[in-house]
Amino acid sequence: MSVNQQAHTGPPYGQPQPAYQGYQQPGYGGPPLPGVPQSQYGAYNGPVPGYQQPVPPQGSLRGPPTSGAPPPTSGASLAAGHPGYSQFGQGDVQNGIPASAAQVHRPPAPQPFLPGSAPPASQPSAFQQYGVPLASAQQLSTHMAGMTIGSTSTPAPPPAGLGYGPPTSVPPVSGSFTATGSGLYTPYTSSQGPPPTSVSQGPPLAQPPFSGQPVSTQRLPSQVPGFAPPPSSTGIGPSSYPPATGAPRPSPMQGPPLPGQAVAGAPTSQPNHVSSPPPPSSMSGPHPGPPPMGGLHGPPPPTHPPQPGYQMQQNGSFGQARGPQPNYGGVFPGTPNYGSQPGPPPPPKRLDPDSIPSPIQVIEDDRSNRGSEPFVTGVRGQVPPLVTTNFLVKDQGNASPRYIRCTSYNIPCTSDMAKQSQVPLAAVIKPLATLPPEETLPYLVDHGESGPVRCNRCKAYMCPFMQFIEGGRRFQCCFCSCVTEVPPHYFQHLDHTGKRVDFYDRPELSLGSYEFLATVDYCKNNKFPSPPAFIFMIDVSYNAVKSGLVRLICEELKSLLDYLPREGNMEESAIRVGFVTYNKVLHFYNVKSSLAQPQMMVVSDVADMFVPLLDGFLVNVNESRTVIASLLDQIPEMFADTRETETVFAPVIQAGLEALKAAECAGKLFIFHTSLPIAEAPGKLKNRDDRKLINTDKEKTLFQPQTSFYNNLAKDCVAQGCCVDLFLFPNQYLDVATLGVVTYQTGGSIYKYAYFQLETDQDRFLNDLRRDVQKEVGFDAVMRVRTSTGIRATDFFGAFYMSNTTDVEMAGLDCDKTITVEFKHDDKLSEDNGALLQCALLYTSCAGQRRLRIHNLSLNCCTQLADLYRNCETDTLINYLAKYAYRGVLSSPVKTVRDALVNQCAQILACYRKNCASPSSAGQLILPECMKLLPVYLNCVLKSDVLQPGPEVTTDDRAYIRQLVTSMDVAETNVFFYPRLLPLTKADVDSDSLPAAIRNSEERLSKGDIYLLENGLNIFVWVGVNVQQGLIQNLFGVSSFSQISNTLSMLPILENPFSKKVRSIVDMLQVQRSRYMKLIILKQEDKLEMLFKHFLVEDKSLSGGASYVDFLCHMHKEIRQLLS
């Protein structure tokens, strides 16, 4: 996808300016300037504290062109021929040639210079940038995806900061990314392969050779010489060239360019084609003074002054923020010569966000292209539609993408190729995924006592890729090539094509996913399992009772026990239930059906846990209904006056484990827990929370359990098939990293409700509990992934335990959990045969039936890197990279993990650039079509709370999110890292559809609208200050903005179309997610708004994460370093 958007230009501080001739330019590649601190990553240094961000004007941003004379341009593209340098001096800055010596490179046909004529046709003149361009912020000639970015300027004082978002949201990018090489421009023509996203910087437009005279505007030909129109591909920037009439033309992605995507004009004769601001005296165009901001529609920039804590100076995701720069006087650090320059500093120039790859656009395009047709899985190596697209799947031999998604569907034939590309080969597998009602569940195949047919050597299960030979008497394994006799009962003749004649009657021969009924050989101790049990274990310490939690749980369980999971046609669930309450001691309850009242037995010796009763502890719900109801009524009363504040934790899990052992069954413990277990007992913990460890080498200890006790306990639980689900209600530090170990390793789920309050949190908790109790679960599960010769599974991520290198063991595996598997080459693959995966999951169903679920997938293999890059799935790649990074923080400093992620992605993109893209100037960032969102999504992972926490994120939050993400599927990580933002005021109340999503950036918000943002854990409803009173009345039932309560946990039920529509949208989103999302109402300019802004992931984050624009520039710089 090629994009030509004019490069940001403007004088780097040190370019000779017409007004200041003869100033030597700090050039490239020599000794660092004295006194300039080195920064490891120049790419994202915001302005130094000395540079105050001006206050942005009120009024909306971006819209129809403002009226008035076209601004004089000073912008020309930076040459493709120079290494970029970072603002405030990197180590590679040295003195260059004086201005006069620089050669001005021209396109073949110079255009006449017409002062006062139309602006160059390559951009509309709608946006006028005022003020002297900021050094090197506007040099961001980010030849990003084909974008060439120019800049216009007039010497007026800047508008009150076209800084978007909080002061940190738009750092000037320090570091122009120009290409290395000569100053000559290689015109960009087109690129081969799938159209790459090439973001380039256009050739400098026609320039008269003059120096130091005012540049007005100049006319360009309708087709810029030397510029082929970009290849048909995803455009970042103008996709067709406007006529030279000077009529402003809207930019292809609506709206005129943002500040910093301005009109490319003539560079005055300077090295690097970086144009200078024209001398103030001879300006045409508006006089100094605030610019007319009339036409810019979109959200108003917020008006925060820079805040002392993070003065726009965050150094992006990498490295420490830099202090003030020595040796630079002046209004803004940059040029000593500018010290006396009057007027406030100019706003930083920016790459136009509309010209860089948009996740929203990609999602919409995929929906419109692939949402209408069913996805038929008969063909090898087909890339499925995106997870954000609604589509039907027809299984014709490969597993549905709902069960398995791969990072690439065409994998390199050799390990050398795989190493060269650095694209990880991984599959995200969700073996028990829920299917939509229109799709059929996997068929259950019963082969009787002989069990499933398998390969003799590698034990792979019969599947569509097995080759029958010798008239059907034997079959050759598609995984290891071994030949196996077909058992007599399974024999069938072949047709003229070599297929068995019963091919379509047997699911295992014609479908990608199916189940086998397992024989007794697949069961523990060679006997069929008993149905599983659920044990509810309730913390009855002072906090739990006082908050109303105990009463709430007991009330809910009375009705919930009727909804235990059951097999399709069963009258009632086979699952038995038991109850325990605890604080410093444990209370077991006998609820045998023959009793008139439940009996309580107390175990106070928590150091040596045992279960005081066998008969009557685990019971059938229907048989013991009255006794259970009586118990659930009594528990809140029994502990109503408790003064016990301390709790134990490990003995509770031990008690559940012992009970399941005694009953000889697998099962699940539902533990409701409120505080750090400090009472004397095994597994006792101490408070070790220490925020001072953040960004030190010891930070990793915050993610590690503080004792190995729980790892050993987890191992025992897995051996018994005892899965632990944990509901936490902390009011302070609880040590999720340690308490979560057993849950995590047994395949369970953690739910956390910090500062639980009945009125605001009960809905969310009860919905989570209901879903958790009712969902499909497999117990005592073992999963193995087999592959055809040439690759093998080497690494696994998820909530499970492994006692050897091949078997993934889970006490419980539910329909929401994924296991991510990485593959490596151990031999060559062939293009003809492709590669095969078979995932086999052995588990006990909720009725106690032992089953095998099989998923098969065939992939293509390639000898050309271009084929690999053409068949990647970025969402799956990000899912894998996030899990890889989140595991990395257990053993490495967080900064090391972040740097490794950036480096790997730079290598992936550099390899594409070097081997697959057609030759073009190094000044272009060229992205593979199906990976063009890799930078924006990767930046979201880098800015996530685990890898870059803000001051409000607790240690427990980070440990919790780290564990959550590790077993998320691709759809969940997609919305978690890049949340969905919907303009509710644009919703059509008469249709069922959602309003079109918008990009996650503050500049996309308008004060007059209401927006909804969801990320899978929370739903935020953001209300702008200028929303019409009628809308507020319709949605919240109050008459004004100030009356909206931000303590609402649900929207009021009002009888009007807008209220119904918004509530239906919220319900629709809740149904799509595996957890019930917390609803938070936020008003613009409220103190809670910072929470919302944290999720506007395209903006710079308060914790120092880079904005999307800056990160794209940073990635470009990294790629160019690798290429050079």
Give the per-residue pLDDT at 346. 55
**pLDDT above 60: residue 944:** yes
**pLDDT above 60: residue 116:** no
Contact assessment for residue 536 and residue 581, using Cβ atoms and an 8 Å cutoff:
no
Mean pLDDT of all residues belonging to the chain: 78
Helix runs in 948-1050, H state only:
955-966, 970-977, 1029-1036
CB within 8 A of 286, min separation 6: which ones? Answer: 68, 69, 71, 128, 130, 154, 156, 292
Q: What is the DSSP string of 692-749?
A: GGTTSGGGGGGTS-S-THHHHHHHHHHHHTEEEEEEE--SS---HHHHHHHHHHTT--
Phi, psi dihedrals of residue 697, rounded to the nearest 5°: -70, -20
Contact assessment for residue 753 and residue 672, using Cβ atoms and an 8 Å cutoff:
no
Give the per-residue pLDDT at 1047. 85
Give the per-residue pLDDT at 301. 43
| Nearest in space to 18 (alpha carbons), one of 286, 345, 268 | 268
What is the per-residue pLDDT across 735-780, written as a single tens digit (0 to 9) for each? Answer: 999 999 999 999 999 999 999 999 999 999 999 999 999 999 999 9
Cα angle value 282/287/288 (rounded, 5°):
110
Provide, rounded to the nearest whole percent, the portion of the chain with pLDDT above 70: 69
Looking at residues 387-409, what average pLDDT do you find? 97
Neighbouring CB atoms inside 10 A of 309's CB total: 10
**pLDDT above 90: residue 1109:** yes
Of the candidate ranges 64-68, 554-558, 873-877, 895-899, the one whose mean pLDDT is the lowest: 64-68
Which strands make up the sheet holding 2-4, listed edge to edge?
2-4, 197-200, 925-927
Contact assessment for residue 234 and residue 258, using Cβ atoms and an 8 Å cutoff:
no
Q: Higher model confidence: residue 220 or residue 1035?
A: 1035
CB within 8 A of 758, min separation 6: which ones? Answer: 547, 548, 549, 552
Cα angle value 1098/1102/1103 (rounded, 5°):
105
Beta strands in 826-874, from DSSP E residues, in sequence order: 835-844, 850-862
Distance CA 1107, CA 1113 (A): 10
Residue 144: helix, strand or coil by DSSP?
coil
Neighbouring CB atoms inside 10 A of 286's CB total: 17
**pLDDT above 90: residue 588:** yes
Looking at residues 488-512, what average pLDDT do you find? 95
**pLDDT above 60: residue 219:** no
What is the per-residue pLDDT across 58-95, written as a single tens digit (0 to 9) for each? Answer: 444 444 444 444 444 443 333 333 443 334 434 343 33
**pLDDT above 70: residue 819:** yes
Give the per-residue pLDDT at 1103. 86
Distance CA 593, CA 600 (A): 15
Distance CA 673, CA 872 (A): 43
Contact assessment for residue 184 and residue 81, using Cβ atoms and an 8 Å cutoff:
yes
Helix runs in 978-1040, H state only:
1029-1036
Distance CA 919, CA 992 (A): 48
CB within 8 A of 703, min separation 6: which ones? Answer: 737, 889, 890, 958, 959, 962
In a 10 Å sphere around its CB, with 0-12 CB exposed, 13-18 middle and 19+ buried, how is residue 254 labelled? Answer: exposed
Q: Report residue 918's pLDDT band, with 50, 70 and 90 as the boundaries.
A: confident
Distance CA 403, CA 512 (A): 10
What is the per-residue pLDDT across 1005-1052, written as a single tens digit (0 to 9) for each? Answer: 999 999 999 999 999 999 999 999 999 999 999 999 999 998 888 999
**pLDDT above 60: residue 483:** yes
Q: Report residue 348's pLDDT band, with 50, 70 and 90 as the boundaries.
A: low
Strands 483-485, 474-476: pairing is antiparallel
Residue 167: helix, strand or coil by DSSP?
helix
Of the candidate ranges 197-201, 401-405, 567-571, the one whose mean pLDDT is the lowest: 197-201
Give the per-residue pLDDT at 785. 98
Give the per-residue pLDDT at 350. 61
| Nearest in space to 1024 (alpha carbons), one of 957, 1083, 1071 | 1083
Distance CA 1028, CA 1041 (A): 9
Cα separations in angstroms, 517 against 243, 509, 763: 70, 16, 39
Structure-block tokens of residue 1044: 């909206």
Alpha-carbon dihedral 20, 24, 28, 32, rounded to 10 degrees? -110
Q: What residues are paired with 469 via a beta bridge?
A: 474
Of the candidate ranges 193-207, 328-342, 560-574, the one whose mean pLDDT is the lowest: 328-342
Phi, psi dihedrals of residue 459, rounded to the nearest 5°: 70, 20
Structure-block tokens of residue 69: 């004379």
Burial 767-803 (b: 16+ CB within 10 A, else e): ebbebbbebebbbbbbbebbbbbbbbbebbbbbbbee
Cα separation of the two ends of the chain:
23
Distance CA 642, CA 640 (A): 6
Distance CA 114, CA 117 (A): 6
Burial 1029-1050 (b: 16+ CB within 10 A, else e): eebbbbbbeeeebeebeeeeee
Q: What residues are paired with 475 via a beta bridge?
A: 468, 484
Contact assessment for residue 148 and residue 1121, using Cβ atoms and an 8 Å cutoff:
no
Structure-block tokens of residue 919: 């030759």
What is the per-residue pLDDT across 660-675, written as a single tens digit (0 to 9) for each? Answer: 999 999 999 999 999 9
Distance CA 1093, CA 483 (A): 61
CB within 8 A of 512, min separation 6: which ones? Answer: 377, 395, 396, 397, 398, 399, 400, 464, 855, 856, 857
What is the per-residue pLDDT across 822-858, written as a single tens digit (0 to 9) for each? Answer: 999 999 999 999 999 999 999 999 999 999 999 999 9
Contact assessment for residue 178 and residue 79, using Cβ atoms and an 8 Å cutoff:
yes
**pLDDT above 70: residue 716:** yes
Residue 390: helix, strand or coil by DSSP?
coil
Give the per-residue pLDDT at 984. 97
Which strands make up the sheet holding 425-429, listed edge to edge?
404-406, 425-429, 819-825, 791-797
Sequence letter at residue 130:
Y
Cα separations in angstroms, 724 against 245, 617, 742: 71, 18, 7
Give the per-residue pLDDT at 29. 42
Residue 499: helix, strand or coil by DSSP?
coil
CB within 8 A of 804, min separation 6: which ones? Answer: none
**pLDDT above 50: residue 192:** no
DSSP state of 521: G
Structure-block tokens of residue 554: 């007991």
Structure-block tokens of residue 805: 């290198």
Q: Report residue 345's pLDDT band, with 50, 70 and 90 as the boundaries.
A: low
Contact assessment for residue 28 and residue 94, using Cβ atoms and an 8 Å cutoff:
yes
Cα separations in angstroms, 978 against 82, 651, 938, 970: 34, 40, 10, 12
Give the per-residue pLDDT at 344. 55
Distance CA 913, CA 596 (A): 77
Give the per-residue pLDDT at 568. 79
Q: Higher model confidence: residue 994 or residue 921?
A: 994
Give the per-residue pLDDT at 1046. 80
Looking at residues 901-927, what average pLDDT do you find? 92
Give the per-residue pLDDT at 351. 76
Give the per-residue pLDDT at 347. 55
Distance CA 881, CA 876 (A): 9
In a 10 Å sphere around its CB, with 0-12 CB exposed, 13-18 middle and 19+ buried, how is residue 443 labelled? Answer: middle
Q: What is the DSSP string of 209-258?
A: S--SS--------SS-TT-PPPPSS--SS-SSPPPTT------TTSS---
Provide, rounded to the nearest whole percent, the portion of the chain with pLDDT above 90: 65
Looking at residues 252-278, what average pLDDT do you find? 38
What is the per-residue pLDDT across 98-113, written as a single tens digit (0 to 9) for each? Answer: 333 334 443 444 344 4
